[in-house]
Structure 1
């Protein structure tokens, strides 16, 4: 059994069982991929894929076991390959982080500044997506760790630890009628057009849920995935928005007013997610500790 066979297996699975896409990802040919998969099956004595003609249609039970075991072997191999760098002056290498725009833009800059100062030989790669994508990237080893709120379900083999809370507030244009109220209610907010997050994001579905719990259906004029886009449309007078407090920058967002919503919209919790079989390098653990200790400022 070879690492090449295991990498081929993971590439086929990551390519949604497409031999051609796996071949492209591995910079080889389709016959070579098929041969490696067959040789692995012959060596261990079981079929890993359900086939329909020449097509792979699903993993067998043994294939699902092989997926988890081969991922663990490849992860451990990467960890062993990195030991030489880890023993030289505090560590070197690349830390791949999957996160959302809101954390990349507002939650992580101070942490990354401190980490880069402590580990100048470690490169950082940020990959941005929505929470379900991020967990899948962690599961598929496309990133070393994820930072986001957690969706309703998480892939098997993922562990998560709380990082920092994310309180919310209401933003409105300057001189908006809601600013005249001593305390706003969800019913008050629902009277105005709403600019909100896409519901793939925690701040999208959670805000929607609070309106639905009260039997309210505000008119949504814009859904977006980027806090800066949401703020721009609110500033342009298209509506109001419930956003994370850390996304509001008073010195820059001078055309917006902020209203404290108290406990109308509960805070979320940012979490750090890892594979259960992940080898945690020293600098990786320090990065996680910095996130938990600092959070957004």
Structure 2
């Protein structure tokens, strides 16, 4: 009887061992069947929705990238793109679901390489930086220039866009960090406020209010208004006039701050801006004047936005810290 029990126990032990060996053999037979290169091709193709455009960005042939994506679809067992005859591509639902994961995996792979390099004392990597389009000309070049002086191995991929695009980029992982205002910040984004910026009015230098020390909101109601036509910004500027009971109607509008300044300088009306300017001359050589408001108007807050759903890479954390120091030291009149 004892012998039978012992044999049964031995048989059970051998069965467990065989099962573990089978698992190991299965893992060896079915390794990961896709590469980081294929993931990179997939992400760029998803961003451009064109094999041809992706191939140009990646400096490879179009057949190479389409083959790599097709092989990736076979490896995943799902279709990533719908191929439209002569009209590009669109992502399937599976493609949309996997895109964020692919971006994260590529960033983690880059982080691993950076960690290895930093063991030798260097700091390298790339940063996908977004900036509100109205802030980009006076703010972004100076920040990048000063940061790369001490971190010459860092490269940047920049996006200048309106607020909705920036927030979307932070959510889907196409942006690492954004410089923007605290306008309609959504869940999933961490915003660090750095600098309060009260709005001001700009006027043609020959305007009847150009010699006034400060300007009242009510004084501007009958004047032609040149609107900076950006989502969130236009609502913010218009809402300033709620204190006097009437919002201005835009006589002219543009989504480009330099065009708005040019229209004002050429006598087409006034406008309202936030970020302080070091020059009151436009690119066509015309001048405008800058005036503060008499009223205590609501200021916007400039800051740094990061996705809260992803841990920032070390290089992004260093740049965010640098941005905080740089912006807090800006001279605001």
TM-score (norm 2): 0.68
- Structure 1 residue 47: Cα displacement: 3.4
- Structure 1 residue 192: Cα displacement: 0.5
SS state of the match for residue 135, structure 2? helix
Q: Which residue of 1 aligns with 2:95?
A: 63
Contact 2:215 / 2:291 at 8 angstroms: preserved in 1?
no
The counterpart of 2:162, out of the listed 130, 134, 141, is 130
Query: Kindly tell me: are residues 143 and 85 of structure 1, through their superposed partners in 2, closer, same or farther at Cα, counting changes over 3 Å?
Result: farther
Contact 1:100 / 1:131 at 8 angstroms: preserved in 2?
yes
Provide the aligned C-alpha RMSD in A. Answer: 3.9
The counterpart of 1:236, out of the listed 258, 262, 266, is 266
Larger relative contact order (CA 8 Å, sep ≥ 6)? 1
CA distance in 2 between partners of 1:221 and 1:159 (Å): 35
Q: Which residue of 1 aligns with 2:54?
A: 22
Q: Which residue of 2 aligns with 1:162?
A: 193
Q: Which residue of 2 aligns with 1:3?
A: 36
1:196 equivalent to 2:188? Answer no
Equivalent pairs counted in the alignment come to: 290
SS state of the match for residue 269, structure 2? coil
CA distance in 2 between partners of 1:19 and 1:110 (Å): 35
CA distance in 1 between partners of 2:36 and 2:174 (Å): 17
More moved, 214-223 vs 232-241: 214-223
The counterpart of 1:187, out of the listed 212, 218, 232, is 218
1:246 equivalent to 2:273? Answer no
The equivalences for 1:38-53 within 5 A come to 38-49=70-81
Could you tell me which runs of 5 or more consecutive residues in structure 2 were left unpaired when the two chains were aligned.
1-33
Q: Which residue of 2 aligns with 1:77?
A: 109
SS state of the match for residue 246, structure 1? coil
- Structure 1 residue 15: Cα displacement: 1.8
SS state of the match for residue 47, structure 1? coil
- Structure 1 residue 70: Cα displacement: 1.1
Q: 1:144-167 CA distances to partner (integer Å, 9 max, x unpaired)?
A: 42212366576x965543343332
Could you tell me which runs of 5 or more consecutive residues in structure 1 were left unpaired when the two chains were aligned.
none
Q: 1:93-127 CA distances to partner (integer Å, 9 max, x unpaired)?
A: 44443223543343456655653454355455654
Query: Kindly tell me: are residues 113 and 153 of structure 1, through their superposed partners in 2, closer, same or farther at Cα, counting changes over 3 Å?
Result: closer
- Structure 1 residue 256: Cα displacement: 1.1
The counterpart of 2:319, out of the listed 268, 275, 287, is 287
SS state of the match for residue 177, structure 1? coil
Query: Kindly tell me: are residues 89 and 198 of structure 1, through their superposed partners in 2, closer, same or farther at Cα, counting changes over 3 Å?
Result: same
Contact 2:127 / 2:176 at 8 angstroms: preserved in 1?
yes
CA distance in 1 between partners of 2:281 and 2:90 (Å): 55
CA distance in 2 between partners of 1:8 and 1:232 (Å): 42
Q: Which residue of 2 aligns with 1:172?
A: 203
Contact 1:174 / 1:257 at 8 angstroms: preserved in 2?
no
Query: Kindly tell me: are residues 77 and 234 of structure 1, through their superposed partners in 2, closer, same or farther at Cα, counting changes over 3 Å?
Result: same
Q: Which residue of 2 aligns with 1:205?
A: 235
Contact 1:51 / 1:58 at 8 angstroms: preserved in 2?
no
CA distance in 2 between partners of 1:120 and 1:144 (Å): 19
Contact 2:131 / 2:140 at 8 angstroms: preserved in 1?
no
Whose radius of gyration is greater, 1 or 2?
2
